[in-house]
Amino acid sequence: MTEWKARRFWKASSVRPAAEGFEIALDDRPLRTPGKLPLILPTAALAQAVAGEWDAQADVIDPNTMPLTRAANSAVEKVAPQFAAVVDMLAEYGGTDLLSYRADQPAELVRRQAEAWDPLAEWAGTALCAPLRITHGVIPIAQDADAMARLHRHLAELDVFGLTALHDLVTLPGSLVLGLAVLHGRIDAGTAFRISRIDEDFQAERWGRDDEAAEAAEHRRAAMLASERLWHLSRRS
């Protein structure tokens, strides 16, 4: 039995002002989320980029080529209704932040982690007023409660689309500090992805690369780059 696939039914998309933002029309029909909610974007730049994803579709719609559309749908249907819960979930990454857990050997891996991660840990302490406690090995370490509360406040101050953009930037590398560093312009998403994989890349250098793992990593990198783009587009007029 052939799997049903959605097909293109419109000739052109357009962007127009709507209450509290901008909407996309497909042949004058307002675009809605899969759950039939109005898809209102906060900036014209983001709306134009989402419209571009729809215009780029051929006869069969491929959601895999529409990361901004998927993220916008998630913002409206998932993040907005449970904003506080998403903030709490992402804030928990601060307590087990990747940058806090360092290798104790070999020396080269220890050096690479320190070189890449120390500046960002220091940045968190100064720019975010949330210094991280660092440990070597796998024994859990408790973070300072006040520092974690400050990180939580940084998340709670974001808007829905900002929090949506932050999601993959935190959950994929396993670091709240890396995600916030991207949002604050301290590093870009490509750098965040690269330095989050210092251990994996070090092991691959020693034992060889696994093609399947490399493909999965590339998907994660692409998702982080798309999230960074969502962040910037949702800030622009």
The model's pLDDT over 139-187, given as tens digits with 9 standing for 90+, comes to 899 999 999 999 999 999 999 999 999 999 999 999 999 999 999 999 9
Residues of the chain with CATH 3.30.2180.10: 13-60
Q: How far apart are CA 82 and CA 106, in angstroms?
A: 43
Residues of the chain with CATH 1.10.3580.10: 82-233
Task: Decide yes or no: CATH 1.10.3720.10 for domain 82-233.
Answer: no
What are the backbone dihedrals phi and psi of residue 92, each rounded to the nearest 5 degrees, phi first? Answer: -60, -25
The answer to whether residue 2 scores a pLDDT higher than 60 is: no
This prediction's pTM = 0.93
Q: How far apart are CA 198 and CA 6, in angstroms?
A: 40
Report which of 50, 77, 76 is spatially closest to residue 63, judged by C-alpha positions.
Answer: 50
Q: Which CATH topology does 13-60 take?
A: ATP12-like (3.30.2180)
Question: What is the structure's pLDDT at 121?
Answer: 98
Instruction: Tell me which H or E stretch contains 228.
Output: helix 211-233
